[in-house]
Structure 1
Amino acid sequence: MSRPQWPPAGDTRGLDAVGLDLSRADLSGRDFGEAWFTGATMREVRLVGAELYRADMQGADLRGADLTSASLVRVNLDDAVLIGAVLDGADLVKASLYGADATDARCRGTRFQGSSLLNVDFRGADLTDAVVVENSFKVRVDSRTVVKGLTGSVFGPVEFVTDAGFREIAGQELARWIAERGGNVRVLS
């Protein structure tokens, strides 16, 4: 008797993959709109160009995942682990990333328009040419966080982490901090 193929061939929209281990799977180009990956282990999974509209990935472990050019519109990534993940060119319009750990993530050209970026850890992340539009941007950054070419508008404050602790940066100070590193972001009050 042969084992069933996973993910199943055919329609994968609304798929229930809650808590499954999909590590190192190549799911590139597939349509997982409204799928459930809640608490799934997806380390080093390839989701290049995948459609994940309104998928629930809350608490998913996406360490080292490749989500290049993926559509993550309205995706729930609350408490997800995105350490070292690649999100280059991904579309995260109106996505929720509350409490996500995106340490050392690569987000070059990523669109975060209208996304909720609250308590997101972007220490060591590369946000080169990323776009933020009216985002809640209460995130954690450090001296390794790259914001060159970051454009748009955000609500702060940001926690800047150093070896000695952290300090909040808000308003014009936050706009200057980003500008000094090559970005051009308007900080909203």
Structure 2
Amino acid sequence: MALNLTTWQPPEFTRPEVGLAGAVDARGANWRDVSANNVDLRGANLCRVDLRGADLSTCQMTGADLRLALYDSSTKVPVDIDLPTSGAVGPGAKLSGVYLNSTDLRGVDLRGAVLMGAYLSGTDLSGAILDGVRLVGSDLRAAILRGAMCRGTRFATCQLDGADFRGADLTDAGLEGAESIKGADFSLTTGLGSQREILLARPYEELDCWNPLTRNTTRSSLESLP
């Protein structure tokens, strides 16, 4: 079917409240806090849609593509849709090995998610809730975790080169087994406790490297902590 440019609109402008016909393409749309009743979303392309707070419980969603869609604890979907295994991003999501490089995940609730071996280089996780997340073996080079909640987060064998942890809560976080912290900035973090001395014992090649964003070395950021 030929594309009708007089009626076409970008996928990110698609809204569920209006009458939708045919295969729905809503890639990147903001459906946050919307309530949609009996909308036919079978086979819909919902990649990267923000579904936080949305109520789609009465919709038909068989075969919908939910990869990288954002959800939270208040998102409602039909009983036959399992958000944690759908490729969507939210609490308890199973995302081991996924490519999330340079993705905007600011403020996203990822509590209990599994992200082992995930590709998160350059990803913005500012203010995200990462409590209890397993990030073992993940690539977090140049990731931004400013003000993130990382209580009990597992960073074993992670690549943390150039990561920005400023102001993050690292209580009980497992950082001692990280593959590299070269250029990572830990300024104003809380909860490091005894791990601070363990990290300061790492090779000078890691500790005396500048973070290109914050213009601070890993050593000086750790030594600035009380």
Q: 1:161 to 1:59 in 2, by over 3 A?
A: farther
1:5-16 matched pairs, under 5 angstroms:
5-7=44-46, 10-11=56-57
Q: Is 1:152 matched up with 2:161? A: no
The match for 2:113 is 75
How many percent of aligned residue pairs carry the same amino acid?
A: 19
1:28-177 matched pairs, under 5 angstroms:
28=70, 31=75, 34-36=83-85, 52-137=90-175, 138-139=177-178, 140-142=180-182, 144-153=183-192, 157-158=198-199, 160=203, 162=205
Higher helix share: 2
TM-score by length of 1: 0.66
RMSD, aligned α-carbons: 3.4
Q: 1:150 to 1:92 in 2, by over 3 A?
A: same
Higher strand share: 1
The match for 2:222 is 179
Larger Rg: 2
Q: Is the 8 A contact 2:121 2:143 kept in 1?
A: yes
Q: 1:28 to 1:76 in 2, by over 3 A?
A: closer
Structure 1 unmatched ranges of 5 or more: 39-46, 164-175, 185-189
Structure 2 unmatched ranges of 5 or more: 1-20, 24-42, 48-54, 77-81, 207-218
Greater RCO, 1 or 2 (C-alpha within 8 Å, sep 6+): 1
Question: CA shift at 1:178, angstroms?
Answer: 4.8
Counting matched residue pairs gives 151
Q: Is the 8 A contact 1:56 1:75 kept in 2?
A: yes
